[in-house]
Structure 1
Amino acid sequence: MAQVTFSTQQRDALFGQSPWDAVLVVSDRFVLADWPEVAQLIQHAASVDQRIGNEATLLLAPGLAGGRLVLSPTGDLDSDYEDVRRFYEAAETGIKMAYRAGARNVLLLVDGPDADARYLHGADVAALGCGQGLYLNPDVEDATQVRVGLVDGQDVDRLTALEQGRVAARDLCGGDPEQMAPPAFADYCLALFEEDPLDVSIIDDAEQLVRDYPLLSAVARSSFAVARHSARVVRVEYCPEGEIHQTWLIAGKGVTYDTGGADLKVGGSMAGMSRDKGGAAATAGFMKTVAMLRPRGIRIIAEMGLVRNSIGSDAFVPDEIITGHAGARVRIGNTDAEGRLVLADLLSHLREDAEKAVNPRVFSLATLTGHVGRAYGPYTGVVENSVARRGQLGRVMQQLGERWAEPVELSTLRREDFAQVAPRSESEDLLSSNNGASVNISRGHQFPLAFLLQASGLDQYHLASDKPIPYLHVDIASSAVEASNPLYGKPTARPLTTLLAMMSEL
């Protein structure tokens, strides 16, 4: 893949002889009051080319770095309903044009409304858009190095760490069913964190998995016989020096391929199911970013459950009753609702960590339901438990996602959601799901949280308990991959950037 690196550059890098071979300008109106020389060149071009300011264009620009000037407009930013994604998209388009023109050392100049708080992070978001534009899947052999020089005062260390984490998340999410099968995913994590200040452990023993992660192992049961598909649990812990003020506990769903199991996906619905590991991928990428930035005061423990939901003679089936790690007896309603089973055991282990942790906050990241796409389109859906709702954690995530080009829609957990998973007989404590696809079920992305709370034991840490624990369930089923091609498009690494922003707000 094209390797993107960021560096800080001075204003004079735009002019004269330099190693930089193109200038990319991302703007809404290209007024460029702080760059009169560039603005004059654009005005001359606009007098003979009506595309200027309306679509991405490449200009011959003697006197500027490399003699190339790429203009990529954001479009009108005045609408009440626009957001900072315009900078991300424009930068993505512009860097692709510069790359196709032969540029490998591109200076990024971002110009937008100064007074509009929606675009406060426009320059940083544009830099991340460059990374998205140049990313290629890991199986594409392209070792080209692309440098992006930042002249608008962006925090290069932060952006570099973000992009490294986002590359890892995209690699892991986008890898095909064999490239990133559970053992391969785990091996990638080992290599990724090899030199980082993280404690990493991998559980690969089938007997231990069945004992300690029984719901997860039920999903993986038909894949255990195939060594290259056998399940893994990856646990990663970051513990900084000094006093700990808060603890984050993150569960990442990593279904490396989802056939639906015995409730087989039919009619072409299986295509794209190698991306059902987007939650674990984002978790791994986030931990890489954290390891590079080494924030103080916050301890982070992440568990990623890596399984393949295979069909076969040993596949689990609806009506089975399986006792999870937290002790709840779960009746399987639909084997294609497997992600919540994986998460429940992970969350139960993290619950045990949370019991003795300082100021714990729990997250689950998952490509969990088709319903979230039906409800919200290409946006991330977040559902809070009562403690998180009282503390407005979901609202914080929504506000920060808006500022960092990762919009979030906030849902509310209701009493009806608990009724959806209530036992249907004396034999079980919980029903995992209805027997239909979530996309066709009322409140299909909300009620899984009711199951996760009870199946993991986190329901005991409610507002009136001795230790209330806030928990955010983050459903990225419709935002983990670019909306333009949800089956085969580039992974987005959402919500990695928003999670990093939350660390400084909570």
Structure 2
Amino acid sequence: MPKRNSYTADFKLQVCAVAAAKGNRAAGRQYDVDEKSIREWRKDIERLQQINPQKRARRGRKVGWPQLEVYNQMFIKQTQRTIGGIKTHRFGNTNIPEIIPVFDIKDATFDIVVVVTDKLERLAGNLDTLKVPLENYSKIDKAFDKQPVLISTDAVPSGRVIYAATGPLVRDQDDVRRFADAAAAGIKRALSAGCKRPLFVCPNDETFQQSRMVSNLAILQSLYKPIELHEAGKALEVDALGLWFSADQTETNKILNDLIALEQGRIVARDIGGSDPERMTAAKVLAYLENAFKDSSVKVSAISDVDTLTKEYPLLAAVNRAANTVERHKARLIFLEYEGKQEITKTLFIVGKGITYDTGGTDIKAGGVMAGMHRDKCGAAAAAGFMKVIDSLKPDHLRVVAALSMVRNSVGEESYVADEIITSRAGVRVRVGNTDAEGRMVMADVLCHMKEKALEAVNPQLFTIATLTGHAIRAVGPDYSIILDNGPARNLNTAQNIQESGEQYGDPFEISTIRREDYEFHKGKSEYEDVLQCNNSPSTLTNRGHQTPAAFLIMASGLDKHGKDSSQPLPYSHIDIAGSSGPFPGLPTGAPIVALSAAFLFQQNQLTCKSEPI
């Protein structure tokens, strides 16, 4: 963030709140403000705190600090406190409000209650007080179960209740996302009503066991503030978020821990994936991750030396050639590594596509289709976000290595071009067919590196995650990830397991299959090359346009030597998130963080994950 000579009062308050909790230096790094300014601002606050409210108001106007109470609230939200044995939670990232577990629907802390369910009969026990006013309102408004409705009632201290119905849940086409849709609509209605401290209520549903988690995640998605706005001092729309629970303290802690871990990961993914190509250059992504994983269980390292990249990752280096002429656009290959403290029983290797901006290269994206290509880094962003979840939950028996190929596909005199033949790390001669197929190029050599590590690892599985093809969107629509297994991964039912996990948590997958035609498509067409990188048509106009890239990655990385007929088979799955990564304009979703977490962390949580509160 560029340094400024003047700052809003709200921004100063926010910086000082962080400084009070974490120190001036940490706040200065987070907001790019010099420590001298922070010290002066904090002295102003201290002076104001020592005088009475009447004088404070007059003095505040003179010095430009009229919102001291806002500061006090912000400082409270930098810490954790305990209510009845349950911790309230505050993210290290001040982009998220304080999360407060609530057991009494009549808690006067909140200024509105938002209810999400499919039928009023579920409002039992502590929630019974809401049933009568909602039933009465339903008799006078036919839209009651079709859109969020706001009613006035003395059933709760705030006098306001929003009812957001999920609609039917038992039809063939219904899934747990009905809860997410209703929750998002409900919280948006609360914000439009001017509420700052909503209490969210979602009774248990026997059909969809993760409905509460899915609803909570949808609310946090709606409340997310892009990092550019956050860094500019834009205030959050709410001060605190209450989540209603039954009286089971153990269950409450478990749900909160998992929820917060997932949201911390999705914040990382949204911050990286959604930010513009200058805010999240490869170098700035590295700086962001070094800060995000500071003093954590995840080790961060990176390769930036162009000679090393050219020697070890020649396909990636080819894409980097044009960008390498601009200092701030140079590539970074970032590694994030985690290892559990007990005997390792599973190892995951993840390669994320991190194209910070995709011009198409010399096969330029013409005709206005380049807009939005800053989102081409969402695969790497999701991999980083998954590592943040792992850092929060700290599974004891799991080892995970994520490699983020952060490269800008620029166009210029040093650009790589179609017809070039480049020998990959695996010794495969690759003929470039289209420079706009850069994603597979920046991942193939890194996947080869992960393959080499996997041969020495315990129970390994390899993944690539990428916004790779428009064909994925054409094939299954804009809200679904696609997963494709090689033979060894298919033997493990990897795709099915991840699909089932995603289905439970509202992070849906479709399964595709890598076929013989996909390998044939990428075979070299002459004796010059072993493999053809791509044809010269868009994936949307190519038969099997989202399946063939997986075959290319297998062939170019040498994974075809480790199929199910090999003495050393290696399970590999490719995940295309071109559709599920989120709309533009709009917010990134963080997919497939939730599904991967459900598959590899939550399903074996009792065996591998710590259960104490974060």
TM-score by length of 2: 0.79
CA RMSD, Structure 1 to Structure 2 (Å): 1.5
1:328-343 to 2 correspondences below 5 Å: 328-343=428-443
1:64 pairs, out of 156, 163, 174, with 156
Structure 1 position 271, deviation (Å): 1.1
Measured in 1, the distance between the counterparts of 2:280 and 2:166 equals 36
1:77-476 to 2 correspondences below 5 Å: 77-111=169-203, 113-114=205-206, 116=207, 119-140=208-229, 141-144=233-236, 145-152=239-246, 153-154=251-252, 155-378=255-478, 379-476=480-577
Measured in 2, the distance between the counterparts of 1:4 and 1:460 equals 50
Structure 1 position 377, deviation (Å): 0.7
CA deviation string 1:341-362 (max 9, x = no partner): 1110111111111011000011
Asked if 1:21 is matched to 2:111, the reply is yes
Helix, strand or coil at the partner of 2:121: coil
Measured in 2, the distance between the counterparts of 1:308 and 1:5 equals 36
Helix, strand or coil at the partner of 1:120: coil
Structure 1 position 148, deviation (Å): 3.3
Measured in 2, the distance between the counterparts of 1:120 and 1:460 equals 42
The residue type paired with residue 96 of structure 2 is Q
Measured in 2, the distance between the counterparts of 1:26 and 1:33 equals 10
Asked if 1:487 is matched to 2:584, the reply is yes
Structure 1 position 138, deviation (Å): 1.1
Structure 1 position 162, deviation (Å): 0.5
Measured in 1, the distance between the counterparts of 2:474 and 2:342 equals 45
Structure 1 position 65, deviation (Å): 4.3
Distance 1:238 1:29, change over 3 A: same
Structure 1 position 398, deviation (Å): 1.1
Q: Once superposed, which parts of structure 1, at least 4 consecutive aligned residues long, lie more than 6 Å away?
A: none
The residue type paired with residue 242 of structure 2 is V
Measured in 2, the distance between the counterparts of 1:454 and 1:401 equals 29
Structure 1 position 464, deviation (Å): 2.2
The residue type paired with residue 167 of structure 2 is G
**Does the 8 A contact of 1:30 with 1:111 survive in 2?**
no
Return 30-39 or 321-330, whichever deviates more: 30-39
CA deviation string 1:25-64 (max 9, x = no partner): 1111232341221111101222233322221122223241
CA deviation string 1:385-439 (max 9, x = no partner): 0111122110111111111111111001100000110011112111101111111
The residue type paired with residue 367 of structure 1 is T
The residue type paired with residue 125 of structure 1 is V
Measured in 2, the distance between the counterparts of 1:288 and 1:97 equals 31
Measured in 2, the distance between the counterparts of 1:403 and 1:426 equals 49
Measured in 1, the distance between the counterparts of 2:153 and 2:263 equals 30
Distance 1:148 1:215, change over 3 A: farther
Query: Kindly, what percent of the aligned residue pairs are identical?
Result: 41
Distance 1:196 1:436, change over 3 A: same
Return 30-39 or 281-290, whichever deviates more: 30-39
CA deviation string 1:366-385 (max 9, x = no partner): 00001011111121111110
1:3 aligns to what? Answer: 96
Return 254-263 or 40-49, whichever deviates more: 40-49
Measured in 2, the distance between the counterparts of 1:205 and 1:356 equals 26
Helix, strand or coil at the partner of 1:86: helix
Distance 1:464 1:5, change over 3 A: farther
Measured in 1, the distance between the counterparts of 2:371 and 2:507 equals 25
Distance 1:279 1:133, change over 3 A: same
The residue type paired with residue 149 of structure 2 is T
Measured in 1, the distance between the counterparts of 2:167 and 2:97 equals 26
Structure 1 position 161, deviation (Å): 0.8
Measured in 2, the distance between the counterparts of 1:253 and 1:69 equals 44
Structure 1 position 99, deviation (Å): 2.4
**Does the 8 A contact of 2:102 with 2:242 survive in 1?**
no
Measured in 1, the distance between the counterparts of 2:193 and 2:95 equals 15
Measured in 1, the distance between the counterparts of 2:584 and 2:463 equals 26
Asked if 1:32 is matched to 2:122, the reply is yes
**Does the 8 A contact of 2:382 with 2:592 survive in 1?**
yes
Aligned residues: 496
Distance 1:109 1:60, change over 3 A: same
1:501 pairs, out of 567, 590, 598, with 598
The residue type paired with residue 70 of structure 1 is I
**Does the 8 A contact of 2:448 with 2:559 survive in 1?**
yes
The residue type paired with residue 19 of structure 1 is T
Distance 1:149 1:113, change over 3 A: closer
The residue type paired with residue 426 of structure 1 is E
The residue type paired with residue 102 of structure 2 is Q
**Does the 8 A contact of 1:28 with 1:112 survive in 2?**
no
Helix, strand or coil at the partner of 2:120: coil
2:60 aligns to what? Answer: none
Measured in 2, the distance between the counterparts of 1:195 and 1:96 equals 36
Structure 1 position 112, deviation (Å): 6.1
The residue type paired with residue 430 of structure 1 is V
The residue type paired with residue 499 of structure 2 is Q
Distance 1:324 1:65, change over 3 A: farther
Measured in 1, the distance between the counterparts of 2:359 and 2:213 equals 39
